[in-house]
Amino acid sequence: MFDRVWLNANLATMQGEGLGPIEDGAVAAKDGRIAWVGPRATLPLPLAGHAAEITDCAGAWILPGLIDCHTHLVFGGDRAGEFEQRLAGATYEEIARAGGGILSTVRATRAATEEALLAAAAPRLQALLAEGVTTVEIKSGYGLEAGTELRQLRVARRLGAAHPVAVVTTLLAAHAVPPEFAGRRTDYARHVAEVILPAAAREGLADAVDAFCERIAFTPEETALVFDAARAAGLPVKLHADQLCDFGGAALAARYRALSADHLEHASPEGIAAMARAGSVAVLLPGACYFIREEKRPDVAAMRAAGLRMALATDMNPGSSPALSLLLMLNLGCTLFRLTVTEALRGVTVHAAAALGLADRGRLEPGLRCDLALYRIARPAELCYWIGGNPCCGRVVEGL
């Protein structure tokens, strides 16, 4: 009756408002979907007996497979040199304004072949998977011209095909102004809207569209040009918003009913309330906050009070968050942003799924994809508690 059954496990189902814990639970899969989940004692026993494969989890905890809903993991080169410059006193913003930062990764990415980008990105992806990630979002944004932007997205698709993981792609051509458009920022935003975005949509390479709305990147008006084009192409939008200053990004994201607005360290209470009303998810990126030594924290208390859903992600990128561990982000989310364990864990499962517009995963519930992460831990809080180490002892993607 079932293809596979996992027994002798504790479950964090994420059903309801909390972790939805079930001690001594069982999960059953059929055709890649969860067919049954609940306490082992209530498992329809004759059916379990007919499962093709039964796994004894020896007391492990099973969570929905983790979802890293914000990464830039396809890029050329690295920025360790800039890290040293920052250690010597330069700020992230100063380096960007001097033509380094994102633009230095653009130079390295443009120079890299599709094969080279794939080879560089694969180990980064594998590091995330090893911790129990089963869905990952990957953005472009280091090409800033059609050819390289599409190449990055093609690499992201190929990574998904070559690994047991679901990859969701996002076009982030509006990430910085390329040298060809120096001094013509609005013209570049129009070029993204009229040329790059339609090309990515035509080739089916983008599942969503993102932009960097910031004083070192694009204004809300320029971002709106890109978002209008996304709407015309039928693509959902996301936004890098209010990371370095309050630039009205959260409110803009809400106006476009964005799936998410991300960063939000400087988002205003009004912006946060607007996002909650629009149903957008707040994606918190403690790795970036930590790594660029941003002192302002996202207003988690206001987000809670507004009933805004909060997700957590690595923001894996060479400049502001060279983070290859989503589990570490759980720890940073709790320590730096004061998230509760429940908030942090829902942030990498059910709310991360919402940040990607995916209704078919993020919880353990019949009918959803059977994506599971198994951990050798005594209680879920351990996933947020350890700094380093990896208790992941099993991973299942679509029942396999």
Q: Which residues are annotated as a binding site for Fe(3+)?
A: 70, 72, 240, 315
How many residues lie near ligand NIG (CB under 6 A)? 13
- Determine, following the binding rule CB under 6 A, whether residue 140 of this chain makes contact with ligand NIG: no
Site for ligand NIG in 74-133 (CB under 6 A): 101-102, 105
Q: Per-residue string for binding with ligand NIG, 160-199, x by CB under 6 A?
A: ----------------------------------------
Q: What Rg value do the Cα atoms of the chain yield, rounded?
A: 21
Distance CA 96, CA 103 (A): 7
Of residues 299 and 315, the one with the C-beta less far from Fe ion: 315
x/- mask, ligand NIG, residues 242-261, rule CB under 6 A, reads -x------------------
Burial class (CB in 10 A: 0-12, 13-18, 19+), 234: exposed
How many angstroms separate the Cα of 321 from the Cα of each of 69, 102, 151, 329, 349?
Answer: 14, 12, 22, 11, 20
Give the torsion sign (CA, 105, 107, 110, 112).
Answer: negative
| Nearest CB to Fe ion, comparing residues 72 and 369 | 72
- Residues, the chain: 400
Selected binder of ligand NIG within 207, 315, 343, 371 (CB under 6 A): 315
Binding-site partner at residue 189 among Fe ion, ligand NIG, none, CB < 5 to 8 Å by type: none
Q: Identify which of residues 240 and 309 has a Cβ nearer to ligand NIG in the complex.
A: 240
Q: State the nearest-atom distance from the C-beta of 317 to Fe ion, in Å.
A: 6
Nearer to ligand NIG, 94 or 382 (CB): 94
Query: At 256, is the secondary structure helix, strand, or coil?
Result: coil
Least CB distance from residue 292 to ligand NIG, whole Å?
A: 8
Is 315 one of the binding residues for Fe ion (CB under 5 A)?
yes
Taking the C-alpha atoms of residue 275 and residue 273, their distance in angstroms, rounded to an integer, is: 5
| Rounded Cα–Cα distance for residues 116 and 241 (Å) | 31
- Both tokens of 111, joined, read 């120079």
Binding-site positions for 4-imidazolone-5-propanoate:
79, 142, 175, 243, 320
HSE of 255, CA atoms in CB hemisphere, 13 A: 13
Catalog residues that contact Fe ion under the rule CB under 5 A.
315
